[in-house]
Amino acid sequence: QGDPLTPYLFVLCMERLGHMIQAEVSARIWEPYQIDSDGPPISHLFFASDVLIFAKAEPAQIRRVAIVLEKFCTTSGLKVNI
């Protein structure tokens, strides 16, 4: 914190998380949430230093989200607050 480079490093890390989630969605392993049948499916949203993650409320999907977050935490060194 305090270093002008910190926000850029955070953005790079979040981009990696976004790519990890998108790869799961593309492989049809992660099922994103769809609010409306005509609307786009949503798997994640980034805002400032926050991340919102969306998936179907099923045990298999929760396990998948946990696996992706665990991989992300291991590779980035960041921790997730729930």
* Cα 1 → chain centroid: 22
Which residue segment(s) compose the domain that 33 sits in? 6-76
In a domain, 19, yes or no: yes
- Beta bridge partners, 44, equal 53
Average pLDDT on 69-77 reads: 93
Confidence at residue 48, expressed as pLDDT on a 0 to 100 scale: 76
In a domain, 24, yes or no: yes
Element housing 82 (H / E): none
How far is it, in rounded angstroms, from Cα 3 to Cα 64? 34
**How many Å from the N-terminal Cα to the C-terminal Cα in the chain?**
21
Name the region of 34 (left: φ>0; alpha: ψ -120 to 50; beta: rest).
beta
Checking if the pLDDT of 1 tops 70, the result is: no
In a domain, 15, yes or no: yes
Q: What is the mean pLDDT of the chain?
A: 91
Average pLDDT on 30-49 reads: 91
Residues 24, 64 contacting (CB under 8 angstroms): yes
Number of domains in the chain: 1
